[in-house]
Amino acid sequence: MILPSTATPSPFSDVKIGPITLRNRFIKSATNEGMAKGGIVSKGLARFHEQVAEGGAALSTVAYCATSLDGRTFVDQAVLDDESLPDFRVLTDAVHKHGGAASAQITHAGSFTFLDHATLKTARPLSSSGGFNKVGVMSHRWLKKKMNRDEMDAMTAEFVGAAIKAREAGFDAVELHMGHGYLLSQFLSKIYNKRWDSYGGNIEKRLKFPREVLGRVLDTVGKDMAVIVKYSMTDGHKGNTIEDGVAIAKAIAADGAHLAVLSNGLNVESITAMFGSAFPQANRGTVGNPIIALGMWIQSLSEPKNVVFRENYLRELALRVRASVDMPLAYLGGVQSLDGAQQAMADGFECIALGRALVNDPAFVNKLQSGALAKSACTACNRCVTMMYSPNGTFCVEGKPGDAKLNIIKAGAAA
């Protein structure tokens, strides 16, 4: 068993993650901002991350930077390509201006896509396994395609190319998304991966393709950028267990990942396991996209109804991972106070990933450090999650929404 150090660091102390040093232990976790309308890197998106850096977080993670146009879940997501580089550079410059670092979460949707037939180039979305695509029911994408070796090689090249573009855009880190039911997670999860070849079966085989991607990205940019992996410790109430989550951590540690962000659950099957509190209908907000609204309604039928939020709600699972590896880990899961942050530090986690608390107040970290407050005003109502589908993008419903006009103007456009 690997025990945390007896000398507990301050959450406001600096920390080295691979080739970069962060000014403190607080990371803005990737939470889909909904501020890339039409796929542009907008002034609203850049301002959102600038405010997080200005508010004291050491690393701000830009959610869902797709590896390609086909890698998007929605059309309102940016792609790491030549066209987006100047606008991503505006965003990273804004973060750096306030002493923060920026991370690009590199993602491919796989079969978890709502792109219509006119937008998605492939006849069937790619996944670990073929057959019926339950997510595609809402967008008439009834079938998904089992990836072959050539498609895996091409996909690995997509991830590597996106990491190179992120480096050119001034990002300090990349985060490979291996959780929540996106493509790499579809290989890891026993719910999605039904293969009988060397890429399916036990967790070691299910890890094979994601590890290939990680290794290539590390080889390509790992000397210049922190290479982070975000993954789900469990799939929720079925599928991968914490034993699988521990095996994933051991594998990516052996491969040399610089940090693991410990999330939980899947977007479709177990979103409550991800957020630690129920999504009652009253808290789901109004979604203009009928496909998304239908999906949320279907999802609500199987979700637990009475899950009450508690701070540090993923602590027990995360401690199982902490006891198994000595790689740097970021605790994610409901830290909302100085006491919660200090608990994560005492538990031996190197970093603390925050989502809703920073949507509620981007200056949360500075206020904790100055003593201006000891606890977030976030109530974990989860309305900010559905607000990302609004013209304003994600915002706390107890506060003021962002300027919707900024979400349709490229970050680098003249003022």
What's CA 274's distance to the chain center, in Å?
Answer: 11
Half-sphere CA count of 367, side-chain side, radius 13 A: 17
Nearest to 135 by CA among 109, 114, 108, 107: 114
Which residue in this structure is represented by tokens 């469990």?
234
At CA 27, angle to CA 391 and CA 311, rounded to 5? 90
The Cα–Cα gap between 251 and 208 comes to: 10
Tokens in use for 363?
A: 């200056």
Contacts of 137 (CB under 8 A, 6+ apart): none
Residues 6+ apart with CB under 8 A from 415: none
Q: From the centroid of its chain, how far is CA 414?
A: 30
Residue 295 corresponds to which tokens in the numbers above?
């999906």
> Judging by beta carbons within 10 Å of its beta carbon (0-12, 13-18, 19+), is residue 357 exposed, middle or buried?
buried
Could you report how far apart the first and last alpha carbons of the chain are, in Å? Answer: 56
Helix (H) or strand (E) holding 354: strand 351-354
Compute and round to an integer the Cα radius of gyration of the chain: 19
Structure tokens at 361: 């107040």
Residue 101's DSSP bridge partners are: 59
Backbone angles phi, psi at 64, to 5 degrees: 45, 70
Is residue 182 part of the annotated active site? The answer reads yes
Cα–Cα distance, 358 to 267 (Å, whole number): 21
Other CB atoms within 10 Å distance of the CB of residue 242? 16
Number of neighbouring beta carbons within 10 Å of residue 415? 4
Which residue in the list 182, 199, 313, 331 is annotated as catalytic?
182
DSSP 164-220: HHHHHTT-SEEEEEE-BTSHHHHHH-TTT----STTSSSHHHHTHHHHHHHHHHHHH
Active site residues: 182
